[in-house]
Structure 1
Amino acid sequence: MTSSFVAYIDESGDEGFTFLPDGRGSSHWFVQTAVVYRRPHDLSAVAALKAARATLGWEAKKAFHFCDMRHEQRLVMLNEVIKTPFRTVSILSYKPDIPDPERFQANKWMLYHYLTRLLIERVSWLCRDHMRPGEGDGTVDLIFSDRAAMSYEDIRVYINRLRAQAGMGTQVNIHWPAINMDSLRAVAHAQLAGLQVADAVATSTHYGVKLSRFGIADPSYLALLRRHAYRHRDNFRGYGIKTLTGFEQLQDRMPHLRAAFLNW
């Protein structure tokens, strides 16, 4: 039997910890996002990007790279994408709050792996909550946007290690019956429409929370996507949006975050 869901995973920002006063250096935020489609709706992403290309007058196979696009082009893409049925999960790390950053600097990919764990937890809950009998086997295929320097076999080993620790008093809360480890793979961004959508959602989320060197954030793209965030009992906090630092604490310190998540 085939899987019930497919999750496309991408990130925005970087994992560095060099924060300079003028805003250069490492990004303050690192965001990892999954865009989850039911398997029967997977091709709706292809149709949405095809429609956006037609509006923009782009060639048929031109890939969407959200950060390289102009504002108007981003709006065209997003307004086609939000017509399709999907849910999003984003893990947001405000890196200056991370204690012992030296530990993360000394262990390459440690932050990425940790956010991957939190992301897969919430993707697994989403699949558990929304599984339909007779529509696949209840599992989700995990497809990462390929980062050339990263070993995705290491991610597989990391997740399998978490699974082996299940029931040993750990705080890992992955719903394991939903995770199909055999299907985990990395694919080049340009090859799959779903990865281009994940890139757009991750970057939109990053734009909504990060401040430019002029002290300005842009939540306009994120606002278009708010109805697609995964909710449990109508609550998006801790589900469709998970922050490493407490959400209320961040909002108290950063008033622009209240605007970013207004009317969610």
Structure 2
Amino acid sequence: MILLMPSHGVRFGSIDDRWKTPPALGRLPKVEVYVDEFGDRGFTTKSSPFFAMTAVMVPAESAPHMRVVAAGLRSEINTEKPLHWVDHFTPKPKHAFRRKLAADMVAAIPGAVVIYVVCEKRTLIASEHLRADQDLFYNYVTKLLLERVAYAARYWPGGSRLAIVALSSIRGTAATDSRNYLDAVRDYRKTDAPMRYIKWPPSWHGPDRFDGLQIADLYMGMMGTALSGSETDVACAAHLLAHRSQIRRGPNGQLLGWGIKMYGDAGALTRRAWWDLLAA
């Protein structure tokens, strides 16, 4: 169910006793979660065909490894700026080594779990209100992603974890409005997901705040590159395929509905020449 509330206005939730992490959950091992997005949120003829989000879940004991990866990549490409797939790993011939290095290094982060939500705008079923309100669309897709983060934290291999979530700030979208929307999802129980396994509230930051947001940008860039290729192009997904073992799977190895939530026609993914390699 889509919660069709305005993306601004009345505050529906707050940090009070309702959403304080219960002591038993607070004692759980932690998993750091970093969220980034790809594409624009519009539905015009000039809009991107896809909007996607990723959550990169890194167990606390692997967080130092992740930070070393980010620092090493910044050193290798000689920049002090936050890592950004488009700025530093664009499909220029001279950047081929950079892209492979980044793909190999993030794929080696121990215990990392990756979740994607992919929206194919042409076929997704949505109200005119959702299509007209870009902030509402972003908030709803964020809800879909965090639901899957909550399930992954609850059923983490080796025992439940408490997820600490940081999202990349979105230009033109107020974090407080998104927070209000997500509070309302919880207040009105518009989800069956075990959201108590997310330390509330999630927070929004610029990429310079956390190395994990820069790493999430790289994962998202790899998926974005794969989505930008033609349906017959396998090479465009080479770097996405490098971390296929990190994408969350169901008990029978399935990706759809687990590590990849497709909002719209699933064929927009499954018809692609690289899909069977990803799902194998």
Q: CA separation in 1, counterparts of 2:135 and 2:210? A: 24
Query: CA 1:101 to 1:261, structure 2 compared with 1: closer, same or farther past 3 Å?
Result: farther
1:209 positional shift: 2.0
Of 246, 255, 259, which residue of structure 2 is paired with 1:236?
A: 255
Letter of the 1:83 counterpart = A
Kept after mapping to 2: 8 A contact 1:17/1:101: no
**AA matched with 2:105:** E
Q: How many pairs were matched up?
A: 244
Output the CA distance in 2 between the equivalents of 1:163 and 1:122.
15
1:227 aligns with 2:252: no
What TM-score results when the alignment is normalised by the length of structure 1?
0.83
Q: 2:228 aligns with which of 198, 210, 216?
A: 210
1:103-162 CA-partner distances (Å, limit 9, x unpaired):
2343231211111111011111110111656xxx83211101112321112222111211
Unmatched runs of 5 consecutive residues or more in structure 2:
1-25, 90-94
2:67 to 46, 49, 52: 46
The whole-number CA distance in structure 2 between the counterparts of 1:92 and 1:111 is 13
Residue of structure 2 equivalent to 1:127: 153
Indicate conservation of the 8 Å contact 2:123/2:265, yes or no: no
The residue aligned with 1:173 is 192
Provide the rounded CA distance (Å) in 1 between the counterparts of 2:66 and 2:215: 7
**In 1, distance between residues paired with 2:57 and 2:265?**
25
2:38 & 2:250 partners in 1: Cα distance? 25
**Displacement, 1:250?**
3.2
Compute the displacement of 1:54 (Å): 4.0
8 Å Cα contact 1:104-1:110 kept in structure 2: yes
**After alignment, is 10-19 or 46-55 more displaced?**
46-55
CA contact (8 A) 1:91 1:119 kept: yes
- Asked whether the equivalents of residues 229 and 236 of structure 1 are also in contact (C-alpha less than 8 Å), the reply is yes
Cα gap change, 1:216 to 1:26, in 2 (>3 Å) = farther
- Once residues 90 and 97 of structure 1 are traced to their aligned partners in structure 2, the CA distance between those partners, rounded to angstroms, is 18
Counterpart residue type for residue 151 of structure 1 = A
Partner of 2:5: none
Q: Is the 8 A contact 2:35 2:213 kept in 1?
A: yes
- The alpha carbon displacement at 1:251 in A equals 5.0
Query: Tell me, which stretches of 5 or more residues in structure 1 are unaligned?
Result: 20-24
In the TM superposition, 1:182-221 aligns within 5 A as: 182=201, 184-211=202-229, 218-221=236-239
Relative to structure 1, is the Cα distance of residues 215 and 236 closer, same or farther in structure 2, using a 3 angstrom cutoff?
closer
Does 1:157 find its partner at 2:176? Answer: no
Residues 81 and 100 (structure 1), Cα distance of their counterparts in 2 relative to 1, 3 Å cut: closer
Alignment match, 1:78: 103
- Mapped partners of 1:112, 1:149: distance in 2: 11
Paired with 1:52 and 1:106, the residues of 2 have a C-alpha distance of 39
Distance (Å, rounded) in 2 between the aligned partners of 1:250 and 1:105: 19
- Between the aligned partners of 1:153 and 1:121, the Cα distance in structure 2 is 19
Counterpart pick for 1:66 among 85, 100, 103? 85
Moved more, 77-86 or 137-146: 137-146
SS in structure 2 of the partner of residue 92 of structure 1? strand
Per-residue deviation, residues 205-249 of structure 1 (Å, max 9, x unmatched): 12212346x9857111111111110112122211111101242x4
Q: Distance in 1 between matches of 2:276 and 2:52?
A: 15
User: In the alignment, what sits opposite 2:56?
Assistant: 35
Distance 1:243 1:263 in 2: 15
Corresponding residue of 1:115: 141
TM-score, normalised relative to structure 2: 0.78
User: In structure 2, the residue corresponding to 1:115 is in which secondary structure?
Assistant: helix
Is the CA contact 1:222–1:260 (under 8 Å) kept in the aligned structure 2?
no
Q: Which residue of 2 aligns with 1:262?
A: 277
CA distance in 1, matches of 2:36, 2:152: 18
Instruction: Report SS of the residue matched to 1:174.
Output: coil
- Cα RMSD of the aligned pairs, angstroms, is 2.4
Structure 2: distance between partners of 1:34 and 1:235: 18
Give the conservation status (yes or no) of the 8 Å contact 1:51–1:80: no
Residue identity opposite 2:164 in structure 1: D
